[in-house]
Amino acid sequence: MGILNLTEDSFFDGGKYNRTDRALAHVEKMLNQGAFFIDVGVASSKPGSAILSSEEEKIKLLPTLEKLITNFPDSFFSIDTYNSDTAKAALEIGASMINDISGGILDPEMFTKIAPFRVPYIIMHMQGKPENMQHHPQYEDITKEVKHFLIHQTIAAEAAGIKDVLIDPGFGFGKTLEHNFKLLKELNTLTDLNCPMLIGLSRKSMIYKYLNFTPKEALNGTTALHAWGLERGASILRVHDVKEAKECVDLWRALH
């Protein structure tokens, strides 16, 4: 899954693709490099970010999404949003999947609004909200608590009529470095939920802060953790660098 950030302040590539021509060129590049999904988002979710309203989101998202669907009609576009109205509007013009960093918590209408479209829905775990999620996150047992949340929200989503649920443990969302590494180490315990698992490790702080450098220098560390994630049951890698991630997947497959 290639990342298309239409935000102005994303931690890694903010502002690079918030012009339609640049977005189209970047999506074409990612598809040519082997991306199966493109995840499109306009609301920043880096620590400290304020919640974006659905109206603001739609103004920034929908014109570009329409161009993407027109130019790449056979591709699959996932929409990174926690607003049900945004999700519904995007699905109405041809989006293929919803990726909700709050797992249905920030907008209680998310499940019922997207269920009629019969599209896959990604439930991610986040402690708190982006604006406060890194203010001293605490767990008694990170993996057990993430698993409990994912089970609870999966049951609720399926009860609302969503047939295809994917899970995402939410690396970096309300978690310390120690929490992130423990969760990655124990990632295989989430596979008994019997849902495809997406992981988002690409250039995140658990890599560059641990190694004491910047996101721009975190590609090698990203690839290393991608391999660990695949070995522990991940099905989809959400990435900034499609070529390198595709190579990692291909080599991992060769070993299996």
Tokens describing residue 167: 């899970």
Residue 204 is a catalytic residue: yes
Candidates 58, 88, 203, 204; catalytic one: 204
Distance CA 76, CA 217 (A): 29
Distance CA 248, CA 34 (A): 12
The DSSP element (H or E) to which 143 belongs, if any, is helix 142-159
Neighbouring CB atoms inside 10 A of 12's CB total 18
Residue 232 is a catalytic residue: no
To the nearest 5 percent, what fractions of the chain are helix, strand and coil?
Answer: 45, 10, 45
Neighbouring CB atoms inside 10 A of 155's CB total 11
Paired with 37 in beta bridges are 76
Let me know if 36 is exposed, middle or buried by CB neighbors in 10 A (0-12, 13-18, 19+). Answer: middle
Distance CA 180, CA 243 (A): 25
Candidates 238, 243, 246, 253; catalytic one: 238
Catalytic residues: 204, 238
